[in-house]
Structure 1
Amino acid sequence: MKYLKIFVIFTIFSLFFACSKSDEVVVKAGSSKLTKKELQEDIKSLPPQTKAFLASPEGVNRLKDELIKREVLYEEAKKKNLAKSEEFKRRMEEFKKITLINMLLEQEIKTLQQVTEQDAKEYYEKNKDMFIKPVEVRLSQIVVKNEDEAKKVYERIDKGEEFSKIAKELSRDEKTKASGGDIGFFKKGQLNPQIENVAFSLRKGQVSMPLTFKGELYIFKITDVKGNPIDFEQIKGQLIEQLKAKKQQDWFNTYIDDLKKKHKVEINEKALQEILNQSLIGGKSIQPQQNK
């Protein structure tokens, strides 16, 4: 049976129920109460468009309706003693764990220096060849038979091996493997549409995901680009967000590595494998990869 669908306004409110005696009650259903202070905190977390809706007469009526629903449902749940169930305790423990993790990350990431427009400008100036609207692209390719062969290619690329070296060793295309997979420059309209869409969406130095073409898998690399540079002002906002995301990801990876050293970590590989075998793959045995 599907859960009853409650309006979005209801679902995005935080579930805080404790109240102070000195705080004015806004909604009461049986012994359940929602105070003015709690409601103010709930509204603070709402997105701007929802706040604008609540400012209208229709929004006020909808809000009252949703608040009443919340309190009567909460009161009924208490009457049925659901708070004493093991399932409730399990969910609350999981909620507590996730909430504490989020609070920790929010607190720690505040110390991270913000990405400025100047940072983005400097990155742009140092990597101008990455911000070109291509007119022509130079491609290299590696042609393989199946996904297993493609996986071997990507594993070697990830390790830092030269694309041309891998092409000479593994590519099935005899015409281009000797030249390291190089197939030259192409303008729009000169390539198969499927390949062109990928080639002109990549930046210089980037490698494509495998494309199925004529019964084989093709992996392309953009080795050179001819075109016009994109003006910094056009991509400033997007670039700042990209640099911010990368900075946060780098910080997070370092932070996790430090915590692994700080806290003793133990994994029962046998128990984990048994659970996966039983729950996910129908009893078939799998062997976990060894950590390097």
Structure 2
Amino acid sequence: MRITVLSLIFLMSGLMVLFGCGRGEEPIDEKELAASVEDWTLTKQALEEVLQKLPRSQKKKYDSPRGRAELADRYLAEQLFYLAGKKIGIENTESAKKAIDEALRRIIIAEYYKNYVEKEARPTEKEMLEYYESNKDDFISMEVRRARHFFSKSKDKIFEMKERIDAGEKMTELTVKYSEDQTTKRDAGDLGYFNPGGFIRFVGYSQKFSDAVFSLEPMVVSDPIEWEKGWSIVVVTEVQPERLRPFDEAKSEISRIITSRRIDLAKDQAVQELKERYDARNYMQETAEQALRSPEELWNLAQTTTDSYERLRSYQEIVQRYPNSEYVPQALFMLGFVSAEELMDFVAADRYFRQVIASYPGTDVAKSADWMLQNLNKPLPEFKDLDDLHEKISEESKKSE
């Protein structure tokens, strides 16, 4: 067997079978094995599972008896390299130790990030449901259609074919014989599934063609349709109507949306907490402190930008870098306000408002934070600026007393 650099890259990729695959105390029937060496085994079932997870191009390459044999041989070669390396103690060489340490370091970082940073950014079931209820328009799937067509660049030919179809000849048979669309004619003109204005097999992007097809009744042969490339006769074979995707179907997408919005802040907070826990110092950062923006500059930046995440970063920087600044109480309040009113992140908002109340009890900003806590996800009174908001909240609080 010839082992190439490409083979080694393949073996070192995420497609590897774990060492000892199929290893166990009970013997395995040889009929179930794809490969083995010493006490390492690769079962046919494990090989099949790997095959199904391959990218489409790779799967096509190995989806045959000969291909499966080649795939099994790749994993067998991997295990042989492992056995040979272990026998000579290659893991004890300096280069191997360095590689193992670096690999372990990356694994630890990735696992910590996933379990302790990303976890903080992930939404609860309640938050996902609230997001879904507030953004249902985002989860409406457009109508999807499937159609067949007969294509010709000749107007005379297309009208001749329409007459023959109307006279009783089968459109599918005429398409296979005479259509000038070489992409779909073997499939009797099948254009596959597409939505309004979307990409269509052979057609590409054609609003004119799409509009015509979406005006047709299902299973009715159209009159000749003229569009950019020529002429088509179309029949819609299937219609999947517009629908609101149910919450359970949209949940994973909602989780990704909310997590992606929160992850930067979660990471910044985690890093700051760990810096304090381990007394870490960034000497380059300390050297650059003189170039940092002042609390006032950060506050003004947050007031002028329309990017909610940029605003959060500015307020966060005020709180973290200038804990004794007079801007901190308002910055904490605004972290909660932006989280609630602009990002609909009520968990983060709750945390920030409670921090304001605990850190600055009895102050006007704490009273405003308390009112915001009691009225999360409810309409706010109209206001001109932050001072006006505090005044309006004070008025609302007095009304409810």
State TM-score, norm by structure 1.
Answer: 0.41
Q: Which has the higher contact order (CA 8 A, sep 6+)?
A: 1
Would you tell me which structure has more strand in proportion to its own residues?
Answer: 1
Pair member with larger Rg: 2
Would you tell me which structure has more helix in proportion to its own residues?
Answer: 2
State TM-score, norm by structure 2.
Answer: 0.31
